Structures are given as structure tokens and as C-alpha cells.
Chain A
Amino acid sequence: MTIYLTIAVIILIFVVIFQISKASEYVSTLKGDEVSRKQNNKINGFLMVVFLVLGLVGVWYCNHVLFDRTLLAHDSASVEGARVDSMLWVTLAVTGIVFLATQIVLFWFAFKYQEKENRKVFYFPHSNALEVLWTVVPAITLTVLVVIGLRNWFLFTGAPPQNAMQVEVTGKQFGWIFRYPGKDGAFGKKYYKNIDPASNTIGLIWDDQLTHDDVVTEQTMYIVKGKPVKLIIGSRDVIHDVGLSHFRLKMDAVPGIPTTLWFTPKYTTAEMKEITGNPNFVYEISCDQMCGNGHYSMKGIIEVVSQEDYDLWMAKQKPYYLSAFPDKDPENAKPAPAVAVKSTSNAEIEKPVKL
């Protein structure tokens, strides 16, 4: 019912606007087109300044209300992200000045040079000096921004520090799988055709000894404060994206083509709760690449903890191999039966594994 009422009201308003408009057209014909045109011109010229002033107030008000809800209200949670922030402020300063200057000039000129009875327009078809000026100045400014940007870019995409820990991140519809290399510090090989949703979610090749101590978890990733972490990112199905807004970074997860991303977390989750004043704060991994109907719910959690807490947590994790083959687990008393390893052909093992 309300919907019909709303539509009726809207139509009514439109009819009123339309009738007024039609009437004003008749009036203008009576007054003479030229007279009414000049009246309209004055009104619109005045509105140009009104729009400029209200617009600038609106820009201020919008910032006033919304700034605290953005990430910029707090420090970046990664060392590298701080560089993104500082670059962002520089870019904001440059573009902000240009924005204010050009918008003010635009609407001010529109107001100031509105049609006047005896104004002589200035025939000014070109000026080489002016055109060179506003070719060269933007070019120089942009060069500065490019230099700052590329220095950061090569840092972000360059090799991580030697002491970086490694975590493999795999996206799937609609969740995240994490793998840690285990005690040997190396990831075992995997092949997607070995994937079994029940016991081998990323298709590890069990014939490769290196897989035997790899730890696989879902949904929550643990990393260490102050220790660079290198993510090796892949996808099991469609393209996803590891979006790390608090760390100011992101990288796509592409099936068949591993990508990498590294950063150094600055604050533990607990510290961020205090910094943001939000007791429910968590580091979230958002999928930032359209990946299907569950895209909006594809959430991962990152727990940033101290080295001790990390070691404690890691000590509790069982290698994935043991959950795939519970009978090999020394905790299960039963002696191991003869090799029950899922057959994996040699050809598949020799296939160059993308890692």
C-alpha cells in the first residue's frame, strides 16, 4: 500500500513541477523571450556561487562526519602500509589544492562572467605561454608523484627480508586455506588433481616427504608481530583477492599462477583493539575480486601475535599429513598398516609444481 502511495505522491509532485514549468514558459513568452532569458541567466549565475559555497561546506561536513570511520584515523598496521599512508597524504595535498583551485575558478568565472548588457568579450583564442605553463607544471608534479610511487612499488613487490616467515594462502569459493611449512621450513609439492575436500584440501603430494610436516588450517591465519611475512597466494577455483585493508595491501589469488605479497605487521590484534578503541577489532581478509554469489561472505581472519604466542599456537598444530592418515599418528597407539597411501602416479610428481 505504501508503495502505491509513494508513487502517487511522486507523480503528484511531478505534475506540479510540470505545470509550473509550463506556466513559466507561457509567462516568458508574454514577457518576451529575451527578458525572461536574462532573468533565468541571473538566477543560474547566482546558483553557481551558491553551489560552490554549499559544495565546499558539504566537502568539509562529509570529512567531519566520515573521517574517523576510515583507516586513516589510525596508524597503519604494517610497516609498509605506513608508506602507503604517507604517499596518500602527499597525493591528497597535491590533488586537493588543484581540486579547490579549479572548482573555485570554474564556478566563480561562471558567476562573474555571466551575461551583462554591455560586456565586451575578450577575443582570446590562444596563448603559447599559458599553454606551455600548464603542460609543464602538471608534468613536473606528476613526475614527483611517480618517483615516490615507484620507490614504494618496488619495495612492496621486491624480495622480502631474509628473516621473513612464509605462509601459503589458497582461496576457494568461499573461504581461505592457509599452509605453514612446518619444522623443515619448506613447503611440499602439491597438484590440484589430488584435491579431496575431505582429507586433502589443497592437493598435497604425500609422496613428497616435505609435505609430511606441513600444517594446514582454514579461516584463521596466525602471524608474528614485527616479523616480515611472505604470503604465497593461489586459488583453487576462480580468481580471488587477498585484501588486507589494515595492512594497506592486497594481491589477487589466481588459479594456476601463484602470486606473492609480503609485509611486516606492526601491532598485535590485542594492541589494535586498544588503538582503534574497538573491543571487537579483528584483522579481516576480505576477498576483493568478484568470485561468485558468496563473494561478500568470503572472510578470513588474521591473528597477529607475539613470537611466544605464535610458538605456543604452532606447537598445538598437527601436521596435515597426520589428519589425512590418522593411523600414522604416534598418538594413535595402533601400529601403522602397510602403505595405504593414495596412489599418485610418478608422472604427476615429476610435473613441475608451481611454488
Chain B
Amino acid sequence: MSNEAVLHAHSGAHDGHEDHSHEHHHQSFISKYVFSQDHKMIAKQFLITGMVWAVLGGFMSVLFRLQLGYPDSSFPWLETILGKWAKGGHITPEAYYALVTTHGTVLVFFVLTAGLSGTFANFLIPLQIGARDMASPFMNMLSYWFFFAASIVMLSSIFVETGPFSGGWTAYPPLSALGDASPGSKSGMDLWIVSMALFVVSSLLGGLNYIATVLNMRTKGMSMTRLPLTIWALFFTAVLGVLSFPVLLSGFILLIFDRNFGTSFYLSDIFINGVGALPNEGGSAILFQHLFWFLGHPEVYIILLPAMGMVSEILSVNSRKPIFGYMAMIGSLFAIAILAFLVWAHHMFVTGLNPLLGSVFVLLTLLIAVPSAIKVFNWLTTLWRGNIRFTPGMLFAIGFVSLFISGGLTGIWLGNSALDIHLHDTYFVVAHFHIVMGVASMFGMFAGIYHWFPKMYGRFLNNTLAYVHFWVTIAGAYMIFWPMHYEGLAGMPRRYYDYSIWESFKQFQDLNQFISLVAMIVFAVQFLFLFNFFYSIFRGRKVTTQNPWDANTLEWTTPINPGHGNWPGEIPEVHRWPYDYGKDGVDFIPQTTPVGADESVEH
């Protein structure tokens, strides 16, 4: 379907000339802000829903960090907000595990998948490839509303009598299958699965749309090798999601059968205290882990790749230099996308998996370090001999690179099974994945928000607030997660409610208190960002030029506040790659500028 056909499918036949403008649409409040089919509005919906979840998920971590940092103190206000889950001002173990589980699920799926790639794939794909909208705006709208439904179901699970699911975000059976083994695995788990199933639907609708749009709707001259790296990253992200989420859904469906219909896919030889021996025999609890991690590992890259793409773009724009090794960047994204499917069992080295199989996964896992190293060195070389502008977006992009290095290197430890057999499920792992996937991707997301906010709302965010936000957050992130490596090197296990009875792990009480304190400060500082965001939507300094960052990509050729359809006239034609910064002494040459006769021919 052509760009014009998409746009005009519901607004009558125009032929897309200057006289066409979106005032013709007569949008009601509902069709503009609620059931919108404009990719930019859907992006904002994903972003703001993601932010709501980030606040909730972050607050959950503050609550359970209170328990870890101050296990002996009582906080009466906790009982006020949590009721029976915090009797006497102490978070109960049930509540602790529910908080940890919901925090993980929400941050991984709702914030860093929907909130990150949902926002930026929707916002940037049409704008940067030169399209009026997505291939199917209607499917795009459905994608958001399935996500919204998933959110509501997940939220409702917090309020059921037996509590939300509390068996960890990975939901390993038999714990997740047996309500008698854990109260959270009763109706809370049913709601959790329903919510996740809706989320998978949302993700597939979105992903198929992104792929179709990138492949079919690029403007004239926009060959695949002229795409900005953001689009390449979002494209591979969508491919990963489309190929792996169905496997997760299949795993969940088998789990639903085991939970409700007496099958034994995952259950065998189980005796539950107070209930007795269960009839199930012959199932394999490990099967679920294979199905789960077949999504679960690509999921890590679904979270990380969009951040990598945006960081590549932002680093290049603000260094006033081309991204170094454009083709190598695409190649390494591709390599990561392929390898992402071949490493899932490194989460399962200690499940008793066949050692030979394990060794293959060691090899493939450590192979991922090669494309990752290429990316890091290319980013560093992009900065080299540039002329760097520290916009807030740029600061977060540099922060991303720093965190990606720090967290990525510990992956070399954990990917080697003979070390993992010692460090598995300790705080070393918590430190590793929070830095490399959690905080780094959050930094990518912040970079994207600060960089594209002027395009989203036609106003700037306040810079001073942004600088405070950045420096406190990066310092805080390191202070929270760096010492956790040491807890891991002491063998301290994850997901413990209280360490005081353990001779081997109780020496970290003061450290846990420090970490909790920093976590609370960092959480509080995010409100500066939130306030900045919502205040600036209405009151921020107005953008007065079309291209405030002097960037080359197509989104900056649209009007300051683009309407539905993005370009009032014809979509511009593309003549070059997006990274001609500093070429022949010219600061920047937008993609729409034809190649001059006297231009040097490099690239």
C-alpha cells in the first residue's frame, strides 16, 4: 500500500499536493487522543503508559529495598498503603516476593519493551523513513489498546485476595503452576498469564506493522543502506519479537493447561506439604525454561537494540561527525539478532542440562561479545575528533555507552558456564543485568526522549533539570549496582527476603542499607524528569526552528508540529545516507540535499 493510500484511506481521495492539510480531518477528542490512528499519538500513548508503569515498578523496588535495607525497622505508613501485606509496618514475605516479581515483569515488558520500542518504533519509523504513517494504522492502534488491556489486567492482579503472582518474573513451574505451593500462584497467576498473553498480542501486532512499514514504505531514494541506525535497530527488534513472542505464548498455554486442566507438561513426581502426592507424572519442569528463555533471551535484545540504535544516532548528531563504521554497525546488529536466538540455555547452565549442550551455549554466548565490542569501539571512535555538544540526549547517550561497557563485561563472566556454576542466581547476576539491560536501556530511553521531545511536542525540555537528572542518575546507578558485584562474589543469593539468619551473607547489612538509600534518592530524582516532561509539554520553551539539533534525518524536515500525515506537501526525496556531518568542511548535509558535483565521494 502506498503512503498516500494509507493516509487517504479514511479521509477521501486527495492527491497529496500542497493544498492538502490535516485540518480536513475534523478529529474529535476521542479519535485524536484516545483511539488515535496517528503513529505519533500512539507513540505518546505508549510512552506515557510506560512512564506510569515505570513509576509503579520503580516504587515497588523502593518498597522491597526498604525491607532489604531496614529489615528491623517498622514503617507504619506501609501498613496504611499495603494493609495486610505489611502487618505492623513490616513487609511480609508474600508481599516482598509479589513486589519483586511484579517489579521484574513490569519493568521488562511494560516499560522497556512497550514503553521503549513501542514509543520509538511508532514515533521514529514513519518520520525517519519518510512515510505518512504505519503500514496499518488500525493495527497500530490495536497494538496500543491490547497493551493497555494487559496493563489493566496486571494492575487488577495486585488487588486479588491471594495476592499477585510471586514466583519471580520468569514464572518457573512447578511453583507457578501450583497454587498450593505458593498463594501467589492462585488467581494472581491466572491474571498474570492473561495479562502476558494480551501483551504478546500487542507486541506481535506492533512488530509486524514495524517490519511491514520499514520494508515497504520508505520514501523515494531511501534505500535500506540509507536508513538511520535507529530504524535498523528498531527493525531487528521487531523481527526478534515476532519470532520469539509466539514461543513464549506457547509456553504459557501449556502452563494454563497444567494449572487448570490436569495435564502434565511441566509436572512430575510432586508431593506438596499439606496436600499430598499429585497425580502428574512424566512432565519436565525444564521444558518451560527452554520455552521461556527462547523468548527471554531475545527479549534482552528487544530491550537493548532500540537503545543502541538511538544512541548511535544521537552520538553522531551531537559529535557533528558521521557514525563510525555504519555498515559494521548494521552487521553487528544483525549478528546480535541472529545470536540472540542461539544462546538461551545460558540461563540454564545449572539446571542439570547436558554438559555438551551447555558447552555449545558457552561458545555462542561469548561470541555475542564480538559484535558488542565492535559497537562499543565504533561509538568511541565516533566521539574521537568530534566537536561534541552536550545536549541532555547526548549525556544520556554517553551514559548508555558507559553502562553498556560495565554491564556487558560481566556478561563474559556469567556466559562462561564454569563461572556461572558459582555465580548463578547471586547478586552478581542482579548487578549484571540491571546495569546492562535495565539502567542502560533506561538511559537509551531517556536519551531518545530528550532528543526527540522537541519533535513530539514542539517545545524543549528544561536543560538544567535535565543535567541534574542525568548526573544524579548515572552516579546513583553505579552506586546502587556496582557494590552488588561484591555481594555476588560472596555468593549472596537473589530473591532473599532477609539475610540475617545466614552466617555467609549477613555481613552486608550496612551495604544493603546504603544501596536502599541511594535507590530511594535516584527514584525521587526521576520525579524531576517527570515534572520536567509534563510541565514542558505545556509550558516549555518553544521550538522556533525546524531543525533544532542541526540533524540530517528526515523527521527534522517536517513542520515543527507535524499533523497526521507528517509532511504537508509531498514527502521529500532522499539523496544520501544520514550521517554526512562535517563532510568537506560542511557542518551537516541533510538527507534531502542532492549530491553536489564537487562533493568528495567517500562512503
Contact between chains at A238 and B503 (CB < 8 Å): no
- Distance in angstroms from A35 CB to nearest chain B CB is 13
Q: Could you tell me the distance between the alpha carbons of A40 and B503 in the complex, rounded to whole angstroms?
A: 50
A51 neighbours in B (Cβ, 8 Å): 471, 474-475
Contact between chains at A289 and B174 (CB < 8 Å): no
Within 49-74 of A, Cβ neighbours of B (below 8 Å) are at 51, 55, 58-59, 62-63, 66-67, 69-72
Which residue of chain A has its CB nearest to the CB of B359? A150
Contact between chains at B181 and A70 (CB < 8 Å): no
Which residue of chain B has its CB nearest to the CB of A33? B541
- Distance in angstroms from A250 CB to nearest chain B CB is 6
Which residue of chain A has its CB nearest to the CB of B379? A106
A156 neighbours in B (Cβ, 8 Å): 418, 421
B410, B467, B585: most-surrounded residue (chain A CB, <10 A): B467
B268, B323, B326, B486: most-surrounded residue (chain A CB, <10 A): B486
Residue from B479, B489, B493 in contact with A243 in the complex, judged by beta carbons closer than 8 Å? B493
Digit string of A114-139 for contact with B (CB within 8 Å is 1, else 0)?
11100111111111001100110011
Digit string of B165-191 for contact with A (CB within 8 Å is 1, else 0)?
011100011110010011100000000
Comparing B16-24, B26-34, B299-307, B494-502, the segment that makes contact with chain A is: B494-502
Q: Could you tell me the distance between the alpha carbons of A282 and B494 in the complex, rounded to whole angstroms?
A: 20
B527 neighbours in A (Cβ, 8 Å): 14
| B309 sits at the interface (CB 8 A) | no
A282 neighbours in B (Cβ, 8 Å): 503
Which residue of chain B has its CB nearest to the CB of A98? B409
Contact between chains at A149 and B417 (CB < 8 Å): yes
Digit string of B282-301 for contact with A (CB within 8 Å is 1, else 0)?
11111000000000000000
Q: Could you tell me the distance between the alpha carbons of A284 and B496 in the complex, rounded to whole angstroms?
A: 15
Contact between chains at B497 and A289 (CB < 8 Å): no
A-B CB contact pairs (8 Å), 12 listed:
A18-B465, A21-B468, A40-B467, A51-B471, A110-B390, A122-B385, A122-B582, A126-B326, A127-B324, A146-B416, A173-B273, A245-B426
Q: Could you tell me the distance between the alpha carbons of A71 and B428 in the complex, rounded to whole angstroms?
A: 13
Contact between chains at A106 and B401 (CB < 8 Å): yes
A62 neighbours in B (Cβ, 8 Å): 482-483, 486
Within 139-186 of B, Cβ neighbours of A (below 8 Å) are at 166-168, 172-175, 178, 181-183
Contact between chains at A293 and B490 (CB < 8 Å): no
| A165 sits at the interface (CB 8 A) | no
| B82 sits at the interface (CB 8 A) | no
- Distance in angstroms from A87 CB to nearest chain B CB is 6
- Distance in angstroms from B93 CB to nearest chain A CB is 4
Within 357-375 of B, Cβ neighbours of A (below 8 Å) are at 358-359, 362-363, 366-367, 369-370, 373-374
* B interface, CB within 8 angstroms of A: 75, 77, 93-94, 97, 166-168, 172-175, 178, 181-183, 267-273, 277, 281-286, 319-328, 350-352, 355, 358-359, 362-363, 366-367, 369-370, 373-374, 376-378, 380-381, 383-390, 395, 398, 401-402, 405-406, 409-410, 412-413, 416-419, 421-422, 424-426, 462-465, 467-468, 471, 474-475, 478-479, 482-483, 486, 489-491, 493-499, 501-505, 507-508, 511, 524, 527-528, 531-532, 541, 579, 581-585, 602-603
Which residue of chain A has its CB nearest to the CB of B390? A44
Comparing A181-189, A191-199, A304-312, A316-324, the segment that makes contact with chain B is: A191-199
- Distance in angstroms from A119 CB to nearest chain B CB is 5
Q: A131-B378, A296-B499 are in contact. List 17 more A-B contacts (CB 8 A).
A: A14-B527, A17-B528, A18-B531, A43-B467, A51-B474, A102-B380, A107-B398, A113-B384, A115-B389, A130-B377, A142-B366, A192-B271, A233-B352, A238-B174, A239-B175, A248-B421, A292-B182
Contact between chains at A84 and B402 (CB < 8 Å): no
Which residue of chain B has its CB nearest to the CB of A66? B486
Say whether, besides A72-B489, A134-B374, A251-B350, A293 and B182 are in contact (CB < 8 Å).
yes
B182, B272, B328, B491: most-surrounded residue (chain A CB, <10 A): B491
Q: Could you tell me the distance between the alpha carbons of A245 and B532 in the complex, rounded to whole angstroms?
A: 46
Contact between chains at A69 and B422 (CB < 8 Å): no
Residue from A121, A197, A255, A284 in contact with B582 in the complex, judged by beta carbons closer than 8 Å? A121
Contact between chains at B491 and A243 (CB < 8 Å): yes
Residue from B286, B388, B406, B416 in contact with A254 in the complex, judged by beta carbons closer than 8 Å? B286
Q: Could you tell me the distance between the alpha carbons of A50 and B474 in the complex, rounded to whole angstroms?
A: 13
Contact between chains at A238 and B181 (CB < 8 Å): yes
Which residue of chain A has its CB nearest to the CB of B178? A238
Say whether, besides A21-B465, A145-B366, A256 and B471 are in contact (CB < 8 Å).
no
Q: Could you tell me the distance between the alpha carbons of A251 and B383 in the complex, rounded to whole angstroms?
A: 45
| A95 sits at the interface (CB 8 A) | yes
Q: Could you tell me the distance between the alpha carbons of A306 and B562 in the complex, rounded to whole angstroms?
A: 79
| A336 sits at the interface (CB 8 A) | no
**What's the interface size class on A, roughly?**
35 or more
Say whether, besides A122-B582, A290-B167, A192 and B277 are in contact (CB < 8 Å).
yes
| A270 sits at the interface (CB 8 A) | no
| A157 sits at the interface (CB 8 A) | yes
Say whether, besides A67-B486, A246-B491, A48 and B385 are in contact (CB < 8 Å).
no
B373 neighbours in A (Cβ, 8 Å): 134-135, 138
Contact between chains at A256 and B283 (CB < 8 Å): yes
- Distance in angstroms from B203 CB to nearest chain A CB is 25
| A8 sits at the interface (CB 8 A) | no
Digit string of A141-157 for contact with B (CB within 8 Å is 1, else 0)?
01001101110111011
Contact between chains at A280 and B503 (CB < 8 Å): yes
| A103 sits at the interface (CB 8 A) | yes
* A interface, CB within 8 angstroms of B: 3, 10, 14, 17-18, 20-22, 24-25, 28-29, 37, 40-41, 43-45, 47-48, 51, 55, 58-59, 62-63, 66-67, 69-72, 81, 83-84, 87-88, 91, 94-95, 98-99, 102-103, 105-107, 109-110, 113-116, 119-127, 130-131, 134-135, 138-139, 142, 145-146, 148-150, 152-154, 156-158, 172-173, 192-193, 195, 197, 203, 233, 236-239, 241, 243, 245-246, 248-252, 254-260, 278, 280-282, 284, 286-297, 299, 354
Ranked nearest first, the 4 interchain pairs of A and B with the lowest CB-CB distance are: A245-B491, A256-B268, A259-B352, A152-B418
Contact between chains at B504 and A294 (CB < 8 Å): no
Residue from A22, A125, A158, A291 in contact with B324 in the complex, judged by beta carbons closer than 8 Å? A125
B383 neighbours in A (Cβ, 8 Å): 106, 109-110, 113
Say whether, besides A22-B462, A103-B402, A124 and B502 are in contact (CB < 8 Å).
no
Contact between chains at A135 and B370 (CB < 8 Å): yes
Residue from B320, B326, B483, B505 in contact with A121 in the complex, judged by beta carbons closer than 8 Å? B320
Contact between chains at B421 and A250 (CB < 8 Å): yes
A70 neighbours in B (Cβ, 8 Å): 486, 489-490
Contact between chains at A256 and B271 (CB < 8 Å): no
Which residue of chain A has its CB nearest to the CB of B382? A124
Q: Could you tell me the distance between the alpha carbons of A280 and B503 in the complex, rounded to whole angstroms?
A: 7
A280 neighbours in B (Cβ, 8 Å): 503
Contact between chains at A284 and B502 (CB < 8 Å): yes
B467 neighbours in A (Cβ, 8 Å): 40, 43-44
Say whether, besides A110-B398, A153-B355, A124 and B324 are in contact (CB < 8 Å).
yes
Contact between chains at A173 and B181 (CB < 8 Å): yes
Contact between chains at A106 and B398 (CB < 8 Å): yes
Say whether, besides A18-B531, A110-B388, A237 and B270 are in contact (CB < 8 Å).
yes
Q: Could you tell me the distance between the alpha carbons of A10 and B523 in the complex, rounded to whole angstroms?
A: 12
Contact between chains at A197 and B273 (CB < 8 Å): yes
